Structure 1
Amino acid sequence: MKTHLVVLTGAGMSAESGLKTFRDENGLWEGHDVMQVASPQGFANNPDLVLEFYNQRRRQLKTVQPNNAHLTLAQLENEFKISIITQNVDDLHERAGSSNVTHLHGELFKARNIENNESVIDWTEDIIVGTKDKNGIQLRPHIVWFGEDVPLINKAISICETADILLIIGTSLQVYPAANLMHYVPQNTPSFYIDPNPNIRSSNSLKVIPKTATNGIKDFITMVK
């Protein structure tokens, strides 16, 4: 049986592909307060602004490709059982060839109607006010906004509970409940954290690798082989 490698990824995983994290140092998202463009209240107050914000993200995603870190993770499926849990809403893990990806915060290339969280459909084009599904109901991005439940968090917890090795790449570990997932792996599970600006230190069971995703994953492979 292959060793189960659980990988938690965040914005730093895709940064080297050219995707903006779109969150400034002051916390603004493209010049907007996060609650304006990523909350149910923001959508209710100004749906045009919110929809265009995600239209821009969707257009940008079409212009980029998986980087070497994405590709390396996909290749590691030859040696490990890999479960990727990502906070990213892009599809770069899948495009790189990874076969088991859980998107905690939704997916840019999917949409759902405003009345039913389960009404998820594939969607790659712009959404505007008046873009409706086959039942005539307004569509919205399939994105988990601030203040909304994270429907896949229990699935993610169950995955972490079966980890043999934990690898964290490119996340500040500041967004909850995702930041808590590292605490659900079995005690003393070998854990690795790749980030160019890590905010935690190495410990007995956690090795911090202060590098970008593409460089840090090379060090990780050396350590586990």
Structure 2
Amino acid sequence: MPPNDSKQTRTAEKILRRVKHLRDYMQPGEIPLLAVPTIWDSGKEQRTTPCEVIVTNQRLIGYYAVDFPRRRRFLEERSLSTINSVTLRHKTYEPLFRELMVSDGQSKLYIRAPRRQIEALYSALRSATEQYVPAASTTFEDTPPSEEVRPATPPPTSAYGRQDIRTPFSGSPLAIALLFVGGLVIEVIGFGLWMMTQSLQAGLPLFIAGLVAVLTATFLRRQRQAIK
């Protein structure tokens, strides 16, 4: 067995042992090449999903399995053959994280992780696409004159790129999260002050301020998802 095949087999078995129940969802001939913990955002859920992202020789998979306290599974996938654009994005307001945008022409998937993991994911996805997705070839045939011969359509190709995203901190997920949590804290303080002093005038302003902060954070979050 060639050294590369042996190394690939060991890596695949290591991933299958580490990621719970992943073996049950593998397709015939499918080999996991890389698994990294990330945040998966496909827009299908109301919130982002922390999960393992697995690159195989056939698919890009977002997956997790939990058995306790109740059985839960999450699995979303993108076939490597349908991916036509992969962009590695660096956002200035998120110094610790990088974002990978994957598009199949119909929808966009956002994957966030620390720099080392996202760089490894980017490299593995590019390598798997180039190695395992065969380039489409055009076949020419003689046809009767009555049949219309349509010009061959060039095969879709996967594009890879990097972007430096410069966006104000006020619109970042971190700022929205801080605003939401801060609003909740202010609400609790206002309510506690009201109960301690039995004075509505003492606690109500803080409670209202916290409520406004929470509602604003919720609005910004939905607005950001709509822009995507």
TM-score bracket relative to the smaller structure: under 0.3
Whichever structure has more strand as a proportion of its residues is: 2
Q: TM-score, normalised by structure 1?
A: 0.24
Q: TM-score, normalised by structure 2?
A: 0.23
- Asked which structure has the greater RCO (Cα within 8 Å, sep 6+), the reply is 1
Whichever structure has more helix as a proportion of its residues is: 2
